[in-house]
Amino acid sequence: MKKNKYLFSLLGLVSASLAVSSCSDFSKSTQTSLNKHIQLVDEVSPKTVDKNKQKTEDIINKLLNQVFKGSQSKILQFLDEQKANEVKIRQEFLEAKESFKVAKSNGEHPEFTNSVNQRNFFAKNWYFFLTHLDEFEFNFVEYVFDGLKNGKTASEEYKATIANKPAIDSFKLKNNLLENIKNGDESKEISNTNVYYILKGKMVFRLSVNDLDQEQPTVTMLPMFWYFPESRAKSISIALISSIVHTLFIHNYPQAYSEFEKVMVVDQRYGSPVFVYPTIIEQKGEENESK
């Protein structure tokens, strides 16, 4: 399978620098070194991909600069490690895939995908996942009722409406291009943390960069992503999703039920979202290795 790879522009790395640590100017030798280490993205369509490619680069650069506080040496070291460990990371994703299959056969896949083990695994491998999206298959877990899997839920009336809805088929993505990123409404309430919502078609990823006051921030990522299979809207608003998560699935404000169940599902024509879990697609020669 052809691998899509990312080239993050030097300009993006500089412009995305954090207030806590500004980026330095680069010499030609530093630029050359950076370009050797950072992954490339294949052009999908010469006429349309450039803008989307730049947006994707900007999104990944923003996250890298947040996680490594604008340190180009740390970013280069991280990218080196990602490249050196790619085979190992893929193998770990294959093992997670087998575990998901077992959990699903036992009807335990919702618990598996929300486990501490899986949360830690995706937190560790967020970069690989976001830069290899087209190498994953996305599998139905359940309809979104407890939006953050923290016990804060939609209404019992809504639960009844989704109780008999059918599961959706697994699906794949055509490319790795990301569309938008937004700092979540909840970020201002969580000390030393920025929560990001990232849009890819009808799917929304939620990623948090924590411990921003520490020398090395950490990442958390719920490995169950919101997907809108019924959406008839032109696009998904991550501002709306962020607002709903903040008001309903964090604070459980009474008025937020309507925002989720009526405004989003009905008025905006998004339909009922589902949780999906990604499993890596086996490449030729990998099947036996993962058994």
Q: What is the value of pTM for the model shown?
A: 0.83
Going from the C-alpha of 101 to that of each of 4, 80, 113, 234, 263, the distances in angstroms are: 26, 32, 11, 34, 35
pLDDT of residue 31: 43
Residue 46 in 3-state DSSP? coil
Compute the average pLDDT of residues 238-259. 97
At residue 245, what are phi and psi to the nearest 5 degrees? -60, -45
Mean pLDDT score of the chain: 87
31-77 pLDDT per residue, tens: 444 444 544 444 445 556 688 899 999 999 999 999 999 999 999 99
DSSP 176: -
Compute the average pLDDT of residues 125-147. 98
Identify whether the C-beta of residue 184 lies closer than 8 Å to the C-beta of residue 196: yes
Q: b/e for 125-137, b at 16 or more Cβ within 10 A?
A: bbbbbbbbbbbbb
